[in-house]
A and B are shown apart, each in its own frame.
Chain A
């Protein structure tokens, strides 16, 4: 070997049998652009340095330049996998500061799309997580394609409702923009029935599979204390034995009228988080059915017919709202100065807070577990970097 090549290899080892390896920002299993600098001893990870910020788009600054009418359709670009809940967080903050009422029908429609969005988002999570563990050229790809097939059905529903498949612009200040088209409710019922059936198939395929269990059980354990200290949210904290769900602890948008369970697992490992999400699938389906059954008549917005982008003005004030997105608690802190644009906006991204737990749980695991744990955290980098 020539000297240059030897130098590179020996520098990589650093002389103490440790290998520093970059995983990302361009990596097949990085969900977005996440860079993990791993220090390896053989196959075992001894340290991880998480680097974020590759997808920073000045989103909060952007919000100051857009009016309350314009921004909801941009808000969905923070968490683009679960766009409906991100929009909801923003309009809820505006409504709270501006003390704007939302008609009952609009509240139910918001719940309906938020839960459908949770189903779609969890489908994507299941697929990509298995893809991480099973490889794009293996069993993971099979589950991925099955899950994507179901996600497409939900996206079809959204397309029929809003005309868009990923970033919707469905919510507006004071209500929602579109009412259900004819036949939509029946199509929605058929879709959730089908997805409920298919969930049994996934569970049979995964939970009867010893290889899947051995890859997930006891891997990436977040203890109850650690979960509370770091402040993880969503399926992560529920997987660690804390029954915390914003829909239950601080109901918004009529969630108090719905009957659903908050799944809690105590193990705190990847399998517990998987179980939590699988139960959430079913709970979301339950809520969707209730929302369709109990959908009240009436207007869909308290401020219909927006004529210009500067029409909505919010009095001076400050407010924080939170909603339960697919990945956890999405918070939106809004400072209004009386104009048509917010003075300041701050997002609390669920993925950002969840990602902070990685350096605590990854050291000691094998390289292969890093991707399994990453996948079980389910970050979306649009929301982490904003």
Chain B
């Protein structure tokens, strides 16, 4: 019983930390984008530099009127934000932030992460369908196209470190990088990291792969009809997914909490590395134009999927050649 209570407590803490982190990551992104565009960004709410802007945004969204379109499919429409948010938050369940610091360090952690994170498509499609709006419907169709296409390269790229470490358990993968981070692993590591980043962009629906949001054609895509708290939940889910994937990247390729200094600095290192990946993703977002749906599918099926499969097989050969565990 006390064990269960302990798990519940850790879960509660992680959930709140994640939500707090997500809120403030929006500020980080806005500031970063503003610098790129020679602007200042949020400044006045929480002077100086807008430290209270995320709180103000959250409060504003809570106070907004909640509108349900007359023609909407009420059940699906109202459920969609929750169904969308749930897997995005759930992916943090298996992430260890330091040895022993996390909700559950499953022995199939990576598998759990990948499986749960691809569930977000259900909520997304529910939102697009339930809104009964043509823009939302088109966006939901694009979402299914894109996420199914990019989940495969994403999974294959994420499996390269798994094969190198010989385990699906996240803490074991990190410990295996004690000598050499996998991003530094000759050739294989860099290629896998690069492919992982590209697939991450697409799996997170970020520019240049944000065709489902596509506000210049589909207005705001699947969430065009959402307002107030439901919109906030969708935003929260999107950013949580993004942060979660950044953490996964830091864990699989950048050695997780490993870093110089005493052990208690571990979570900080982990956070820094995850934010580094997040900033790279943001940097790409604010420099590229969006690409078209047919090009996106072509990139996935003709380039990324074969490349990741070949890479995974090459990794397997290397590991088999050097003997299990020697990698």
Contact = CB atoms under 8 A, between A and B. Distances in A.
A8 B134 CA distance: 10
B216 A28 contact: yes
Interface centre among B72, B215, B293 (most CB of A within 10 A): B215
A212 B33 CA distance: 20
B292 A369 contact: yes
A274 to B, nearest CB: 12
Interface stretch (B5-13, B35-43, B161-169, B265-273): B35-43
A142 B286 contact: yes
A42 B292 CA distance: 14
Interface string B283-295: 0011111111111
A201 to B, nearest CB: 12
A78 B36 CA distance: 35
B213 interface: yes
Interface SS, B side: loop
A301 interface: no
Given A134-B289, A142-B286, A2 B73 contact: yes
Contacts of B292: 214-215, 366, 368-369
Contacts of B285: 137-139
Nearest to B75: A1
A366 B37 contact: no
Interface stretch (B51-59, B204-212, B315-323): B204-212
A50 interface: no
Interface residues of B, number: 38
B70 to A, nearest CB: 8
Contacts of B66: none
A145 B132 CA distance: 35
Interface in B189-215: 207-208, 210-211, 213-215
Interface string A100-142: 0000000000000000000000000000001111111111111
A29 B292 CA distance: 16
B289 A209 contact: yes
B229 interface: no
Contact size range, A:
35 or more
Nearest to B208: A211
B54 to A, nearest CB: 17
Contacts of A136: 215-216
B101 to A, nearest CB: 34
Contacts of A367: 138, 217-218
A55 interface: no
A194 interface: no
Contact of A133 (B138, B287, B290): B290
B219 interface: yes
Contacts, number: 124
B71 interface: yes
A9 B130 CA distance: 11
Contacts of A137: 207, 210, 213, 215, 285
A118 B292 CA distance: 30
B39 A138 contact: no
Interface in A21-43: 21, 23, 27-29, 40, 42-43
Nearest to A138: B207
Nearest to B207: A138
Nearest to B145: A43
B286 A138 contact: yes
A207 to B, nearest CB: 12
Contacts of B289: 130, 133-135, 138-140, 209, 211-212, 215
Contact of A135 (B141, B215, B287): B215
A86 interface: no
A259 interface: no
Interface of A: 1-2, 4-5, 8-9, 12, 19, 21, 23, 27-29, 40, 42-43, 130-142, 145-146, 149, 205, 209, 211-212, 214-215, 366-371
12 contacts: A5-B132, A9-B137, A23-B217, A133-B289, A135-B290, A136-B216, A138-B288, A140-B216, A146-B38, A215-B292, A369-B292, A371-B216
Interface of B: 33, 36-39, 71-73, 76, 132, 134-135, 137-138, 141-142, 207-208, 210-211, 213-219, 285-295
Given A40-B138, A366-B293, 15 more contacts: A5-B132, A9-B132, A28-B215, A133-B290, A134-B289, A135-B215, A136-B215, A136-B216, A141-B37, A142-B36, A142-B37, A146-B38, A205-B287, A214-B295, A368-B211
